[in-house]
């Protein structure tokens, strides 16, 4: 098995594990999304809204 094959296999297994159940998705991505929201939600209302001036630039138009 080549290195790139091993990486691809690892990525597939990781994604499958995260997407297997809603709980596993929440465990895998929840902390990342909460941290991102903590940075991006400049008015601390718990929402990302159009026009919110967050550090990575304006939110795109829907």
User: CA–CA separation, 32 vs 43, rounded Å?
Assistant: 19
Q: How confident is the model at residue 19 (pLDDT cuts 50, 70, 90)?
A: low
In this prediction, residue 30 has a pLDDT band, given cuts at 50, 70 and 90, of confident
pTM of the predicted model over 0.75? no
Q: What is the pLDDT of residue 62?
A: 59
Bridge-partner residues for 57, per DSSP? 54
Q: Where are the alpha helices (DSSP H) in 1-62?
A: 3-19, 22-40
Tokens 């290195």 sit on residue: 3
- In this predicted model, which residue has the larger pLDDT, 57 or 33? 33
Decide: helix, strand or coil at residue 54: strand
Mean pLDDT of 7-32: 75
Which residues are CB-contacts of 37 (< 8 A; sequence separation ≥ 6)? 46, 48
Tell me the two tokens of residue 37. Answer: 């929201």
Residue 46 has pLDDT above 80, yes or no: yes
């Amino acid at each position: 098995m080549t290195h790139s094959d091993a990486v691809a296999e690892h990525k597939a297994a990781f994604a499958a594990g995260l997407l297997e159940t809603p709980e596993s998705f929440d465990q895998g991505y929840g902390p990342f999304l909460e941290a991102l929201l903590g940075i991006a939600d400049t008015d601390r209302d718990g929402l990302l809204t159009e026009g919110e001036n967050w550090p990575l630039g304006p939110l795109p138009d829907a």
